[in-house]
Amino acid sequence: MKLQRFLAAHDGVISRAQARAVGLSDDQIARKVASGEWLRRAPGVYFAIAWRWTPAAKVRVAAEWARPTGALAGPAAAWWLGLDLDSPHPVGVVVPPHSSRRAPDGIAMVRRDLRGDRTEHRGLWVVARALAVLDTAVALGPQGQAFLDRALQQGRVSLEDLTAMQERHVGRRGSGTAQRMLDEAADRAASTAERRTVALLRRGGITGWTPNLEVTLPDGRETVVDLGFLALKLALEVDGWAFHVDPTRFVGDRARKRALVADGWVVVEVTWVDLVRRPEKFLDELRRIIDVRCRALSVQM
């Protein structure tokens, strides 16, 4: 029963050391393998065929094989850590740089000094969360930037942690790509987005706005809009990224915008996508909004 409970709790995966710990002898292990009851998935790591061969089982095999000095890395680590990833593939591990081990089929291995940046999570050794995010972003190719951005937006990791980890592991394979992704993520800070918005308005010949316009609400509260057309009661709010906004501020911003709308303001949210991928379309939409407000309020710009 002890063996069955162990297998049930470990997705049907068991190492030789673990089998011995639950009371099996080497002869008993050999008989289970010879009978086909257990499949040898990696040196010293077995899978009991009574269980389903799942992604979790594949990840466990890799992690158990990499013990005691290695760790899950890349997508496998990110997946095991519960980050926003559908699949752990390719299942990879990191082992010390002077290791003589050769990876079995189905396990991608990298020799690298982790500098202590690994942690135990749900019973398996994985690289540190920030390193898992960086390496996974690189491994995902064209989808990597979106993955890194989601990790930041969801608060799974901070930009500061990613930057520090990048500096600690600079020079590794994919380091240059990771740095470019970090630079792009950092460039999405609200202050940078506001500067881009100002430059875009100027380039588009749109005038009549004031940056950081102070507005007094009907209840006497003072607020500031990022860019405001006072005569039109039109506010442009430049969205910073979610990882720059704590939950309390998020709720406060929404309440402030509702108060502006209740006072007759039109609030237009400007996103990073507007500024980078569709600036001309955004300018056209803004010109139409300005035109509608001018006619509605009998204002000439």
- The model's pLDDT over 8-64, given as tens digits with 9 standing for 90+, comes to 999 999 999 999 999 999 999 999 999 999 999 999 999 999 999 999 999 999 999
Task: Say whether both 66 and 167 belong to one domain.
Answer: yes
Residue labelled with tokens 């049907």: 12
pLDDT computed for residue 126 by the predictor = 98
- The model's pLDDT over 38-49, given as tens digits with 9 standing for 90+, comes to 999 999 999 999
Q: What is the CATH number of the domain that holds 216?
A: 3.40.960.10
Task: Say whether both 20 and 142 belong to one domain.
Answer: no
Task: Say whether both 161 and 250 belong to one domain.
Answer: no
Sheet containing strand 45-48, edge to edge, reads 13-15, 45-48, 38-42
Closest CA to 162 of 145, 193, 108: 145
- The model's pLDDT over 208-229, given as tens digits with 9 standing for 90+, comes to 999 989 999 888 889 999 999 9
- List the beta bridge partners of residue 47: 13, 39
Task: Say whether both 182 and 194 belong to one domain.
Answer: no
The residue among 135, 160, 186 that closes a domain is 186
- Domains of the chain: total: 3
Strands (E), 77-154: 92-95, 108-111, 118-121, 124-127
Residue type, 61: V
pLDDT computed for residue 186 by the predictor = 76
Report pTM.
Answer: 0.71
pLDDT computed for residue 242 by the predictor = 47
Question: Could you list the residue range(s) of the whole structural domain that residue 112 is in?
Answer: 54-186
Closest CA to 268 of 201, 180, 183: 201
The residue among 186, 220, 244 that closes a domain is 186
Task: Say whether both 65 and 180 belong to one domain.
Answer: yes
Do 137 and 147 form a contact (C-beta atoms < 8 A)? yes
As a whole number of Å, the end-to-end CA separation of the chain is: 81
Task: Say whether both 173 and 197 belong to one domain.
Answer: no
Distance CA(196)–CA(166), nearest Å, equals 27
DSSP letters spanning 233-282: TEEEEEPPPGGG--HHHHHHHHHHHHHHHHTT-EEEEE-HHHHHT-HHHH
Task: Decide: helix, strand or coil at residue 161.
Answer: helix
pLDDT computed for residue 248 by the predictor = 59
pLDDT computed for residue 254 by the predictor = 79
- Positions in the chain whose pLDDT score sits under 50: 242, 244
